[in-house]
Structure 1
Amino acid sequence: MSFNDLESGGVQLSRASNSPGRKDEFTQLKDKLSISIFKINGNIQGINRIVTVLGTTKEQGDSRDRLHELLESTRVIVKNTSEDVRRLTTWDQAGDKPDVVSNTQAKINREFSLAIQSFQRVQKEAAERTKISTERELQRVSNQQQTVSRNQDEVLYNHQDQFQLEEENAIPQEQLQQQVQQPRRMTDAERRYQEGLIEERDNEIRDIETGIQELNEIFRDLGNIVVEQGGMLDNIESNVYSIASDTNRANQQLVSAHEYQRKAGKRAFCLLIILVIVVLIVVLVLIL
């Protein structure tokens, strides 16, 4: 294979790496990431609106369901986006404009990092508000149980004489027991409902805390990628400076060699003239 073949192959490789398809792929990836980050920020605003009214009189019946759905969908978007950010951050700049690629990488990394931080903050706030709301719910259930217990004591006290005068009043004992036990059965049903609701909210809190941990891992991975990519860029920059320095030294050596060759040529020319003069003198002496 000749040097021309190698040069031709190198040109083809450069053209392939700088092909329109490659540029389109980079642009599509950048646009996809921009849309994903926009969705994340939009979901964060929706989560904030729900968290603000959580545990207050403004809370709607489906607020917690909508909060759970928004948190879950945002986590999925963040996970998928982190993989795309990894691709963009490690994008091979060969054949592309390094400045454009580097600026795009820095911009997307910055926007995604800010979105992650905002989502992390709103998740923590959602967990805290949910815990506070759950504690209030527990206190409310406890107060209801105490109230019902006092009412039951009053019912038992009021019916005590009726039990004693059962024969006189002709009230069957089973009917009196049903009157006494009926409030207790209603309380048990309500308590089971409240306990199930509290358990559901505890699960939601655990899901949020798990999401926070996963988000921390994504954030650390992203930070490591940026650091590694920064090291790669530093190495590339160092290599560029090294190559430039070597090129300058090579140019200086070429200039020195050219100067030496020029001086050597002058000396050879002078010696040749001297030799010609000497030969002419010898010839003239022999003739005369």
Structure 2
Amino acid sequence: MSFEYLESGRALIPLAGARHIEHGPSRALAAGVFRINTAVAGYKRLVNCIGAPRDTVDLRHNLLKTRLQVRELVKETSAELDRVRQTYKYNEVNDSKKIADAKLTKDYESVLKDFERAQLLAAEKEKAFPHPIANNTRQPSNRASELEISSLNPMQASLVRESNRRVMHMENEIVLNEAIIDEREQGIREIQKEIGEVNEIFRDLAQLVSAQGALIGDISSNIESSHAATGEGANQLAKASKTQRSTSSMTCLMLVIVGIILLIVVVVVVS
């Protein structure tokens, strides 16, 4: 990326474009791109820890916090991008400024694509390594009570307690699976929403590229391909969500059937 004009959060401008980026929207855009790039680098480091020994509840919270931070930076930088675009709409812009702004546009496009890839990877890894969830239980309706068990002989009581334990375990698994599904789908919905926001930014970039003209025509084709890849990524996330719910629903059904069979066997033995 063309960050030779940025260092330690302060804009250092190449001589060729200094008078154009030193003040105004272009300078603010350059600073915003630098901050986003730094935040995305931190986000990618957190994503790489998902599923690793350092994967903890705190890490998942930091992952969410960093993602929200990047989103806020993107909104601010997009506002500056719009201001840059307005200068092309209402003012004559010389070739030197067009070249300088073209570099900024390309850098912004690149960091957004990097963030998009990191989000898609995070969604895939969070599906493979679910967030730790408290194992909440609910009172079952198909387990024998201790009062009923106390009236049985020791062998029968042992069998019934073992059946109760298995049924309780299966019920807890169902609750846990439902919670995991809800969390994953919520995460996928959030990422899909963010991808939609990135799409809007790509459209703004395309308008700026059009205003800048032939000097940066090659960037336009890159933005169009990025826009298509973004849509494909959103479709893949939607398909993954549907597949996950179908598979988990079948698993829950099988667990309930097994629990009923175990209970019938115990009743037969007891009788």
State the Cα distance separating 1:205 from its structure 2 match.
2.0
Gaps in structure 1 of 5+ consecutive residues: 1-22, 142-154, 235-288
Q: Distance in 2 between matches of 1:228 and 1:95?
A: 11
More helix by share: 1
- Judged with a 3 Å threshold, the aligned counterparts in structure 2 of structure 1 residues 213 and 24 are, in CA distance, closer, same or farther, namely closer
Deviation per residue, 1:201-226 (Å, 9 max, x gap): 32112211221232123113311331
User: Hey, what does 1:278 align to over in structure 2?
Assistant: none
Deviation per residue, 1:44-65 (Å, 9 max, x gap): 1111111112123331222222
Matches within 5 A, 1:202-281: 202-230=185-213
- Stretches of 4+ moved more than 6 A in 1? 23-26, 93-97, 176-180, 231-234
Q: Is 2:94 the counterpart of 1:111?
A: no
- Judged with a 3 Å threshold, the aligned counterparts in structure 2 of structure 1 residues 26 and 95 are, in CA distance, closer, same or farther, namely farther
Q: Name whichever of 178-187 and 37-46 sits farther off.
A: 178-187
**SS of corresponding position for 1:90:** helix
Q: Distance in 2 between matches of 1:115 and 1:193?
A: 37
Q: Distance in 2 between matches of 1:130 and 1:206?
A: 13
**Identical amino acids, percent of aligned pairs:** 26
| TM, length-normalised to structure 2 | 0.54
2:45 pairs with one of 49, 52, 57: 49
| TM, length-normalised to structure 1 | 0.51
Aligned length: 187
User: Hey, what does 1:196 align to over in structure 2?
Assistant: 179
User: Hey, what does 2:117 align to over in structure 1?
Assistant: 121
Q: Is 2:69 the counterpart of 1:73?
A: yes
8 A contact 2:89–2:211 mirrored in 1: no
Q: Which structure's CA Rg is the greater one?
A: 1
Q: Distance in 2 between matches of 1:198 and 1:95?
A: 52
CA RMSD, Structure 1 to Structure 2 (Å) = 4.4
- Judged with a 3 Å threshold, the aligned counterparts in structure 2 of structure 1 residues 131 and 185 are, in CA distance, closer, same or farther, namely closer
Q: Distance in 1 between matches of 2:92 and 2:207?
A: 24
User: Hey, what does 1:7 align to over in structure 2?
Assistant: none
8 A contact 1:130–1:201 mirrored in 2: yes
- Judged with a 3 Å threshold, the aligned counterparts in structure 2 of structure 1 residues 161 and 106 are, in CA distance, closer, same or farther, namely closer
8 A contact 1:90–1:229 mirrored in 2: no
1:131 pairs with one of 127, 133, 136: 127
Gaps in structure 2 of 5+ consecutive residues: 1-18, 136-142, 218-271
8 A contact 1:89–1:105 mirrored in 2: no
